[in-house]
Amino acid sequence: VRTLKLTIAYDGTNFAGWQRQTTERTVQATIEDAIRPIEGERVVLTGAGRTDAGVHAAGQAASLTLKSAIGASELQRALNATLPDDVRIVDIDERPPQFNARFDARRKTYHYLLWSGGILPPSLRHHAWHVPQRLDLATMNAAAEILVGTHDFAAFQAAGSDVQTTVRELVTSRIARLPSGPTVAIGDRLMRYEVTGSGFLRHMVRNIVGTLVDAGRGRLTPEDVRAILASRDRGRASATAPPHGLTLWTVEYETDAEATPSATNAESSSQTA
Amino acid sequence: VRTLKLTIAYDGTNFAGWQRQTTERTVQATIEDAIRPIEGERVVLTGAGRTDAGVHAAGQAASLTLKSAIGASELQRALNATLPDDVRIVDIDERPPQFNARFDARRKTYHYLLWSGGILPPSLRHHAWHVPQRLDLATMNAAAEILVGTHDFAAFQAAGSDVQTTVRELVTSRIARLPSGPTVAIGDRLMRYEVTGSGFLRHMVRNIVGTLVDAGRGRLTPEDVRAILASRDRGRASATAPPHGLTLWTVEYETDAEATPSATNAESSSQTA
């Protein structure tokens, strides 16, 4: 029995999220079902984190124990040949038996795309939240920076969540304009919020984005955002941003040589694991 | 009766191309059907060029005569409120009565996206052609440059075409790597072919791209491409590249103040028409 780590990219548009459900099409079930004929029996993937319906991934991670002796590269090729084209295995490498993609994850990075004002290009309609107003970048960044550090993020947790602690550490929380993109003439309307942390509460990134957008609209000041954080009261933060702007960008582990998803260069990186 | 120019963006994935057909979903029919209740009768759009099924547009242009006195901005808002989200009216402006988007087009620019080797990110699966091999950019550019100028492009015309002349002028024909993109970690795998010309034969861009890719793979030298062009023989050029990598980027007219599709900044530009 070996333990493998899979790095996975998906377009979440036509998935009901990561986690297997009884009837809906999910990423976990789609990949597990593709591995089953190779392993000869049912397998269970442990994802680094669950993503909701409509949320995308460039570098989701999952662990898996396998009896089959199939090579990692061969498994990757076999899976990509059978999987639908909205999910790709970008890397597979061998890990020690105790490796668990969920519990060993050290940091995660999410990206959230916003389109501010104007007309949303059709090619971004499933990947960016179209906010009709012009957003003030400096105000949003001042608010975003307040969240860096170790805080109780209860105000940004989904209602009804039940976790032991709502304290999390963010090491990066910033927003920037993106100057250009391959499918659209972007002008200065596309913005990306980038957040890296030790862990995230349910809907935390989307609740933060909803609040930052209200700051960018002039409805909240950065000091209001500081007060919302301190209140630990979900009722004070803004509405949850829609899922389709969100991408799970990378999951980092102690053993990772590098953190960026150059995982798309899979042939080479899967050799060096 | 007024004449309007519409600038249109669409994701061609779920359209059977631009031109109205009896039963298929097309861009032209979708927009005409959305204008009809505003005008109170059937309208006909004249597109600058027909795009095939799967081909996208960032700045397609179309002309239209209208009896309704509705303001250009109001019409744009009304259309974007009713159109499906894979087609957007990015600009509308008034033109002289004799304006015809097809015959008055002075230049068109197309972009074609290629993903070279590795794993195609799911978010680009409908917008980039995945070529499994590594492509040599310098060779491709040497071949692309040969096509600049006024030539008989019969070798790159779709079989069975019937046009008076196959001579066209290209003013730009070049390929470059794109360093980054909003939805994917791109590395150096994404390339964009950019071509601007006075006019294009049917499938001409896709036939050029297929040939440039064969040069990038090492199957053709730049001199081979020169010989293919000179032969005027469609049988000598490479296979047609798939439609989904292609985007009609802009259409330029004599009266255009600017050529780039900052048309996405529609609120402002539609005022100044």
pLDDT of residue B270: 29
pLDDT of A259 above 70: no
Q: Which of B11, B52, B93, B104 is catalytic?
A: B52
pLDDT of residue A256: 62
Residue in A11, A121, A261 nearest the CB of B185: A261
In the Cβ-directed half-sphere of A24, how many Cα atoms lie within 13 Å?
16
How far apart are alpha carbons B87 and B214 in whole angstroms? 33
Report the DSSP pairing between strands B56-66 and B246-252: parallel
How far is the alpha carbon of A184 from chain B, nearest alpha carbon, in Å?
Answer: 7
Mean pLDDT, to the nearest integer, of A50-64? 96
Reading chain B (273 residues) residue by residue, the pLDDT tens digits are 999 999 999 999 999 999 999 999 999 999 999 999 999 999 999 999 999 999 999 999 999 999 999 999 999 999 999 999 999 999 999 999 999 999 999 999 999 999 998 899 999 999 999 999 999 999 999 999 999 999 999 999 998 777 889 999 999 999 999 865 666 665 678 999 999 999 999 999 999 999 999 999 999 999 999 999 999 998 998 999 999 999 999 999 987 654 444 444 333 332 222
The verdict on a CB contact (< 8 Å) between B181 and A181 is yes
B259/A contact by beta carbon, under 8 A: no
For residue A160, name the pLDDT band (cuts at 50, 70, 90).
confident
How far apart are alpha carbons A225 and A209 in whole angstroms? 11
3 state DSSP class of B197? strand
How far apart are alpha carbons B36 and B30 in whole angstroms? 10
Residue B247: list chain A partners with CB under 8 A: 183
pLDDT per residue over A73-124, tens digit each?
Answer: 999 999 999 999 999 999 999 999 999 999 999 999 999 999 998 899 999 9
> Percentage of chain A with pLDDT > 90?
82
B162 catalytic? Reply is: no
Least confident of A219-223, A237-241, B103-107, B263-267: B263-267
* Among candidate residues B189, B170, B51, the one with its CA nearest the CA of residue B128: B189
The most distant pair of C-alpha atoms in chain A lies apart, rounded to whole Å, by 58
pLDDT of residue B122: 95
The most distant pair of C-alpha atoms in chain B lies apart, rounded to whole Å, by 58
For residue A183, name the pLDDT band (cuts at 50, 70, 90).
low
Contact A93, A273 (CB under 8 A): yes
Q: Is B232 left (phi over 0), alpha (psi -120 to 50) or beta?
A: left
> Which residue from A minimizes the CA distance to B126?
A123
Output the DSSP codes for B202-255: TTHHHHHHHHHHHHHTTSS-HHHHHHHHHHT-GGGS-PPPPGGGEEEEEEE-TT
How far apart are alpha carbons A208 and A210 in whole angstroms? 5
| pTM to 2 decimal places | 0.88
User: In whole angstroms, what separates CA A70 from the centre of its chain?
Assistant: 29
How far apart are alpha carbons B88 and B111 in whole angstroms? 19
| Cβ neighbourhood burial of B33 (10 Å; 0-12, 13-18, 19+) | middle
pLDDT of residue A262: 42
ipTM: 0.84
The verdict on a CB contact (< 8 Å) between A183 and B113 is yes
Could you give the angle at the alpha carbon of B166 between the alpha carbons of B163 and B169, nearest 5°? 130
Q: Active-site residue numbers of A? A: 52
Could you give the angle at the alpha carbon of B115 between the alpha carbons of A244 and A264, nearest 5°? 65
pLDDT of residue B185: 64
Residue A118: list chain B partners with CB under 8 A: 264-267
Residue A10: list chain B partners with CB under 8 A: 122
For residue A163, name the pLDDT band (cuts at 50, 70, 90).
confident
Higher pLDDT, B67 or A264: B67
B85/A contact by beta carbon, under 8 A: yes
* Among candidate residues A68, A53, A59, A66, the one with its CA nearest the CA of residue A14: A53
* Among candidate residues B161, B7, B148, the one with its CA nearest the CA of residue B89: B7
- One-letter identity of residue B136: D
Residue B89: list chain A partners with CB under 8 A: 119
Q: Which residues on adjacent β-strands are paired with residue B5?
A: B63, B93
Q: Going by C-beta distance under 8 Å and a sequence separation of 6 or more, which residues neighbour residue A117? A: A131, A132, A133, A134, A135, A189, B267
pLDDT of A273 above 90: no
The verdict on a CB contact (< 8 Å) between B88 and A121 is yes
* Among candidate residues A72, A1, A74, A77, the one with its CA nearest the CA of residue A41: A1
3 state DSSP class of B120? coil
pLDDT of A271 above 50: no
Buried b (16+ CB within 10 A) or exposed e, A260-272: ebbbbbbeebbee
pLDDT of residue B186: 57
User: In whole angstroms, what separates CA B49 from the centre of its chain?
Assistant: 8
The sign of the torsion formed by the CA atoms of A217, A219, A222, A225 equals: negative
The phi, psi pair for B138, rounded to 5°, reads -65, -45
Contact A248, A61 (CB under 8 A): no
pLDDT of residue B160: 76
User: In whole angstroms, what separates CA A230 from the centre of its chain?
Assistant: 25
Output the DSSP codes for chain A: -EEEEEEEEE-GGGSS-SS--SSS--HHHHHHHHHHHHHTS----EESS---TT-EEEEEEEEEEE-----HHHHHHHHHHHS-TTEEEEEEEEE-TT--TTTS--EEEEEEEEEESS---GGGTTTSEEESS---HHHHHHHHHHT-EEEE-GGGSPTT---S--EEEEEEEEEEE----SSS--TT-EEEEEEEES---TTHHHHHHHHHHHHHTTSS-HHHHHHHHHHT-GGGS-PPPPGGGEEEEEEE-TT-S--S-GGGSHHHHTT--
* Cβ within 8 Å of A, B 219-248: 247
